[in-house]
Each structure stands twice: as structure tokens, then as C-alpha cells.
Homo-oligomer: A and B are copies of this chain.
């Protein structure tokens, strides 16, 4: 990798880290682009070369999660039932590092509309990318509506799982990753089963529905 590429990656990371540190210490929305730039050791102008706004610098991690999921999905065997691949792609992605930061960022969005919007945009971008990947996999037999509705629903369920996880799981829990994985699995299973019956709430992770239902041989 050339010097140029590496420098850009480093700079981007430095800015994102500075933004996250600031958000953590003074709260989201309570700091300026200048402060981020200063802490990252770049000029204000350079900050805006990398991100459109302070909040955008906080979606790098979320983007990373979704890109990783997309990558994992791409490496699934093509013959595997569709929902199998989807579920495994997202639940395996929970084994990535730095997951607790995601929870923190999710919670921050509750008190900061701009950050929420930036995160929603991040999901939206992922939706487009995943829809494209899925189209390549399924070919042109499927309708656009089917494809986009499916991808949107999958991401909505994943989002709901992460929200629930962020809201209920202690930040430094030992089994944080497993907690998230269980919720993603649960939500996507509900989706595959058409939300047919309401699922009792309360303590999650017990009696997870893992029974691989028949059919689903897309």
C-alpha cells in the first residue's frame, strides 16, 4: 500500500477517533468541527474534506459494521438458503471488535437528532449496497420491489436487535457479543416466519428458535 493511501486511512481514523472521544467526554452535539480537527491534528478544512459534519464522523463505526456484514454475506456459499446466509452474515458480524462502542453510539442517538439522522443515513447506504449484492446473487428473476422490501426488512430487524441490545445490555458485559447475536438471530427468525405469532418478552436468549424451517431454498 502506498504512502498516500495509508495516510488517508490514518487521517480518517484519527478524525473518527477524535470525534468519538469528544462525543464520549462532552456528549454528542456539544462540540464543534474545529475541536475535532484540533484533537485529530489536522486543519478544520481537512476535517471537512473527510466528513460533511461532526455527526458524520461518528458513523464510521456503524458503516464498518454494515460493510463487514456485507463482506461476510458475500462469502456465503451461493447454494445456501437465502435466510440462512442472511442470518449467518449478520450474526457472525457480531464477533467483530469494538462492539461496545456501537452500543454507546446507539444510545447517544437518543439525545441527538443530528446523530440519529447520520446513523439512519448510514443504514440507508448499507441498504443500497446490500440490495445490489443480493441482486447479483439472485439474478434478475426477482422483482425490484421484492428485493428492496426484503433488504429493508432485514436491516430493520437488525436495527431493532441492535437497539434492544444497546438499551438492555450493560456496556462492559462479558457476553455482550453473544447478547447481540442472539437478538439478531431472534429478530431475523421472526422475519423469516412472517411475524406469525407474538413472541413473549422479558429475558431474551432462552428458547431461541433455531429450528431450520423447511423450504427457503432460494
**Does A140 belong to the interface (CB within 8 Å)?**
yes
Write out, one digit per residue, whether chain A residues 40-70 have a CB within 8 A of any chain B CB (1) or not (0): 0000000000001000000000000000000
Chain A interface mostly: helix
Contact, CB under 8 Å: B198 / A145:
no
Number of copies of this kind of chain in the complex: 2
- Partner of A143 from B156, B202, B215 at Cβ < 8 Å: B202
Distance in angstroms between the alpha carbons of A59 and B27 in the assembled complex: 28
Residues of B within 8 A of A144 (CB): 164, 201
The answer to whether B200 touches A141, judged by C-beta atoms less than 8 angstroms apart, is yes
**Closest residue of chain B to A123, judged by CB?**
B120
Within 8 A of B (CB), among A138-164: 138, 140-146, 148-150, 152-153, 155-157, 159-161, 163-164
Top-4 shortest CB links A-B: A143-B201, A152-B156, A194-B194, A149-B160
